[in-house]
Amino acid sequence: MNNQKAGTARRLPDTHILTIIGLMALVLIMMLFLQPGNYFSLKNARSMIYQFPEYGILAFGMMVCMIAGGIDLSLVGIMNFTGVIAALIVKHMVPAEGGPMTAAAIILAVAAAIVIGCACGAFNGFIIGYFHIPAMLVTLCGLQLYTGLAYGITGGPAINGMCDAFKAISNGSIAGIPYVLFIFIAVFLLVTFVMKSTVFGHEIYFLGSNARASRYSGINTLKVTIMTHAFSGILGGISGILITSHLNSAKSSNGSTYTLLTLLIVVLGGVHPDGGKGKVLGVTLSTILLQLIANAFGLLHMDDNAKTFVNGCMLVAALLLDVYLDKRAAKRN
């Protein structure tokens, strides 16, 4: 019985990963007929790599919170807030003539973004864990709060005109490979390591499967909740740096469609909305799948709103797949 259960648990995410790979193949085959010349070029591959890390990293944050049984709707707010702070630091501290101060200012900006992201996340986690308020409500407040902070600091207009070195973070490349790909791979490895090989990662899975049981078994649920959300906030901060550098602008309303997009990525990637289940690999693959689709839409000159429409439909489809797999697993047991 026990063995069988472990078996199904291991098989379930694999169905998801197989589905994603199948969908990827479908998109690629479709594009092979529709736009073979443009789609399968090195230039296009590079342009895709420049785009997906910012929301891919956000999706990791959403994933961590969802595995812990919560949700983090404030990620876009954290992203913009940290982006604004980083932009302010870069704008005011980088001297016009360059020199070693530039590197120091950029490092300071990155560190500030990560620390502030961590603090925002920890604040969310504290309110959720200490007052026992649903994560959805707290992070919805968080979205409003952090967006409001970013809006209040900038006063509305975007902060533009960062120095070249800062812009290079998201727009530069080495030997034809964009830096952001390395950053994404580093974050991927970090998240995989945390979720798979640390006590903290296993506590997140426990908390998501059964919060009460994990408290009785000696896990400090408040601490784990705070740490989970702080971790998600750090990822939001990294993403804030990337998007600010990529767009060369920081304002409170950047990337407002990313909340839906990250939810879609995470659910499509096999993370269960009730928590406890999910794999980093699945989320990574579904990030890449969505980038493939978005890029195909772009090349076919489809409307951006068509993408929103299709994303919504896919979200429902992914949820239905979850329900179907759950039912099948229940029958088998």
Q: Which residues bind other proteins (CB under 8 A)?
A: 71, 127, 131-134, 136-138, 140-145, 147-149, 151-152, 154-156, 252, 259-260, 263, 267, 273-274, 303, 305-313, 315-316, 319-320, 323
Position 111, amino acid: A
Q: Nearest approach, Cβ of 113 to other proteins (angstroms)?
A: 19
To 5 degrees, how large is the angle CA 197–CA 290–CA 209?
40
DSSP state of 99: S
Q: Closer CB to other proteins, residue 71 or residue 227? A: 71
Q: Closer CB to other proteins, residue 128 or residue 187? A: 128
Q: Nearest approach, Cβ of 134 to other proteins (angstroms)?
A: 5
Q: Closer CB to other proteins, residue 229 or residue 246? A: 229
Q: Closer CB to other proteins, residue 142 or residue 237? A: 142
Q: Nearest approach, Cβ of 200 to other proteins (angstroms)?
A: 25
To 5 degrees, how large is the angle CA 226–CA 114–CA 187?
90
How buried is residue 329: exposed, middle or buried, by Cβ count under 10 Å (0-12/13-18/19+)?
Answer: middle
250 φ/ψ angles, rounded to the nearest 5 degrees: -130, 125
Q: Closer CB to other proteins, residue 193 or residue 309? A: 309
Position 128, amino acid: I
CA atoms of 154 and 329, how far apart (whole Å): 51
Q: Nearest approach, Cβ of 255 to other proteins (angstroms)?
A: 14
Q: Nearest approach, Cβ of 317 to other proteins (angstroms)?
A: 9
Q: Closer CB to other proteins, residue 151 or residue 200? A: 151
CA atoms of 246 and 54, how far apart (whole Å): 9
Q: Closer CB to other proteins, residue 63 or residue 71? A: 71
CA atoms of 324 and 332, how far apart (whole Å): 12
CA atoms of 333 and 4, how far apart (whole Å): 8
Q: 3-state DSSP call for residue 196?
A: helix
Q: Which two tokens stand for residue 89?
A: 């630091």
Q: Nearest approach, Cβ of 32 to other proteins (angstroms)?
A: 25
Q: Nearest approach, Cβ of 181 to other proteins (angstroms)?
A: 28
